[in-house]
Amino acid sequence: MTLRPGLATCEAMQSNSSSFPDWHGTTILAVRKNGSTVIAGDGQVSMGPTVVKGNARKVRRLAGGKVVAGFAGATADAFTLIERLEAKLEQYPHQLARACVDLAKDWRTDRYLRKLEAMLLVADKTAIYTVTGVGDVLEPGESLGGGAVAAIGSGGNYALAAGKALIDLDLSAEDIARKAMGIAAEICVYTNGNLTVESL
């Protein structure tokens, strides 16, 4: 179901999965529950089969700490996109959806930005969005209990499945994020247990 131009649910993402690149090298997970939003990212940086760093920070606070963004893909490309997102948030303060949609439009149409190989997971206290280079801004569906989970990266599907299984249990958003990321780290060789966790 389309929420607004450029904004779709995760179901739409799944139906269009052939257009999404297979990013390796990280896992980023967002969990929203009971008024709390958490984004967690692992610290592993891989170059082919080699681990070159184990404590990278792939989760950042933006907009004076009111927005959190995590990235998967090429680090330099991701930093370029995060800088663009910060500029959009300055242009549209307190309008995260509009800033994300505007970034996705630029990303899809700008000749330079189109070459960037990364994905972003962005959240504030009320919403979570996955932003992609194919021009989509995707919002996860809510669980029966009202929580939401989204993930990107090579271990994203493992973290997403674990998060969805835990979301309706009597656990906080941070507890769910940490447990789900731990499960992903046990399965995905491109993901480790050195977490950066930011809460809103």
d(CA 25, CA 117): 12
Backbone angles phi, psi at 45, to 5 degrees: -120, 125
In which residue are the tokens 């990280």 written? Answer: 26
In which residue are the tokens 């967690």 written? Answer: 40
Q: Are 40 and 153 in contact (CB under 8 A)?
A: no
Q: Are strands 137-139 and 45-47 parallel, antiparallel or unpaired?
A: unpaired
Tally DSSP H helices, then E strands, for the chain: 5, 12
Residues involved in catalysis = 26
In which residue are the tokens 């939401």 written? Answer: 148
Q: How many CB atoms lie within 10 A of CB 93?
A: 11
Q: How many CB atoms lie within 10 A of CB 12?
A: 15
